[in-house]
Amino acid sequence: MINKFKKDKDRYFFANGLKFSCKQCGACCTGTPGIVRVSREDIKRISEFLNISEKELFSQYLDKVEQGVVIRELDNGACIFFDKGCRIYPVRPGQCRSFPFWFKNLRNEDTWKKTAENCPGIGQGEFFSFEEILELIDYSVR
């Protein structure tokens, strides 16, 4: 997928890169329900970070679904790890690390601006090059 983008780089509004810095506001972790998939590596990192066994991690925080393993949500749709900030931020899953550079947010400049309405970190802080954004998009569609 990355090569497809590189070939037509000038077509994309993010060709010159974008800025983003997570403010840990919770806008992407709360509200509308969603699925946060976790990889085998994510599970290992999170259990080590929380100093609990993987079995305990599963019983308290994760669910097995048809798509794999996901982080459990609270009844209000919030991520179970969000409490005035992400409790596992240093080891958050890859899906979380790649936000907001998800394909659905980068379809065009309008969708990016719409995402920015709910995410105060967009346009702030760290600069991500076109190539770095492509890597994050590639991760988010796996």
Where are the chain's structural domains?
A: 1-28+99-142, 30-84
Residue 12 has a pLDDT of 87
User: Which secondary structure element, helix H or strand E, spans residue 18, and what is its range?
Assistant: strand 18-20
Residue 87 has a pLDDT of 96
Rounded to a whole number, what is the largest CA-CA distance in the chain?
48
pTM of the model as a whole: 0.85
Question: 11 Cβ partners below 8 Å, 6+ apart?
Answer: none
pLDDT at 34 over 90: no
Task: Return the structure tokens found at 61.
Answer: 């925080």
d(CA 8, CA 3): 9
Task: Return the structure tokens found at 88.
Answer: 């596992």
pLDDT at 108 over 70: yes
User: Which secondary structure element, helix H or strand E, spans residue 46, and what is its range?
Assistant: helix 40-50
Percentage of residues of the chain with pLDDT beyond 70: 91
Check if the beta carbon of residue 30 is closer than 8 Å to that of residue 76. yes
Which whole number is the average pLDDT over 94-116? 93
Query: Where does residue 12 fall: left (phi above 0), alpha (psi -120 to 50 degrees), or beta otherwise?
Result: beta
